[in-house]
Structure 1
């Protein structure tokens, strides 16, 4: 995801007003200037991207959880249909577990 200059300004400007110091070093990932605040050096652009990524994962996770609840509340009586239902539920659970692992990384 590429941010426009305007989006980058919206990320960086509040930092400057909050007392963060722009360093003379740049992020090796995105090239944005690094900042220091309360003794911690960081890239505001990469942090912003990471927050967006986590928010997207949370949204997908919520959708999957809702789908799983619907399936769980509507289990069919027919054995063959029940097996299909359970396979779909198992796949959703597998995907949710992968998303949980993704949230733990990066």
Structure 2
């Protein structure tokens, strides 16, 4: 189902830009399909995919920042160092999972 936000942010600007709304609907989300420059597409699915990628990218960036912080502040105490390294290892595992989700591996 299409949200009001998607209508405002995606569909209305497309109509104003001269895209043609077709009498066919997306089988995935039910949105009307559009045609522009010879390309038929679902603007809502494209918008949602873009939003998802931006969210994943934001999480990855925060994890990388934390990993860098940890790498730059390794403690001298061996017990604390082990804890530090375990956390770093977990962050790396999560980053790998995100990459697999995006099909980048």
TM-score by length of 1: 0.86
Consecutive unaligned residues in structure 2, runs of 5 or more: none
State the Cα RMSD in Å: 1.8
**Deviation of residue 3 (structure 1)?**
4.9
CA separation in 1, counterparts of 2:5 and 2:96? 36
Following superposition, the deviation at residue 87 of structure 1 comes to: 1.1
| Residues in 1 aligned to 2:19 and 2:48: alpha-carbon distance in whole angstroms | 19
Supply the distance in 2 between the matched residues of 1:6 and 1:86 (Cα, whole angstroms). 43
Structure 1 Cα separation of the partners of residues 9 and 65 of structure 2? 34
CA contact (8 A) 2:19 2:36 kept: yes
**Could you tell me which residue of structure 2 aligns to residue 49 of structure 1?**
48
Answer yes or no: is 1:16 the counterpart of 2:15: yes
- The residue matched to 1:55 in structure 2 has which SS? helix
Runs of at least 5 residues in structure 1 that lack an aligned partner in the other structure: none
Q: Deviations over 1:16-67 (max 9, x none)?
A: 2222111111111110001111222111111111111111111111110111
SS of the equivalent of 2:24 reads: strand
- Structure 1 residue 101 corresponds to structure 2 residue 100: yes
SS in structure 2 of the partner of residue 41 of structure 1? strand
Distance 1:15 1:54 in 2: 21
Q: Give the TM-score normalised by the residue count of structure 2.
A: 0.87
Which secondary structure does the structure 2 equivalent of 1:7 belong to?
A: helix
> Once the 2 structures are TM-superposed, how far is the Cα of residue 78 of structure 1 from its aligned partner?
1.7
Name 2:26's counterpart in structure 1.
27
> For 1:83, what is the secondary structure of its paired residue?
helix
